Amino acid sequence: MHLDQRPERPPWSFLTNHAHVLVAISRNPELRQRDISDLVGITPGAVQRIVHELEEGGYLRHERIGRRNRYEILDSRPLRHPLEADTTVAALLQSLSSPD
């Protein structure tokens, strides 16, 4: 998607950029970090940092296939904040999935 075609983003959101990255990856595990950056509205460097943090936290892993990455979300893990610790990543992503 070209930058000029992106919908206007609101000044704040209910979800963190970490959640937005997970949602983008859950919808397409083969997205390039540049594509995730465009979808989320953050820099490619921020995406790289978030992906690293999610991998370090045990929420994400990737497999290198040629020159691309394929991501796998480890969705049985609980959310990190004490208010949501009884909710898994899978439940969050399911609640945010687009109806087919």
Q: Kindly report the pTM of this predicted structure.
A: 0.88
Specify the pLDDT at position 9. 80
Block residue for tokens 């953050």: 42
Task: Say how far apart CA 62 and CA 86 lie, in whole Å.
Answer: 26
Task: Say how far apart CA 97 and CA 28 lie, in whole Å.
Answer: 12
Q: What does pLDDT average to over the chain?
A: 92
Task: Say how far apart CA 26 and CA 19 lie, in whole Å.
Answer: 10
- With 0-12 / 13-18 / 19 or more C-beta atoms within 10 angstroms meaning exposed / middle / buried, residue 47 is buried
CATH of 15-96, one of 3.20.20.70, 3.40.50.300, 1.20.1260.10, 1.10.10.10: 1.10.10.10
Among 65-69, 72-76, 86-90, the minimum mean pLDDT is found in: 65-69
Cβ neighbours of residue 2 under 8 Å, at least 6 residues apart? Answer: none
12-56 pLDDT, tens digit per residue, is 899 999 999 999 999 999 999 999 999 999 999 999 999 999 999
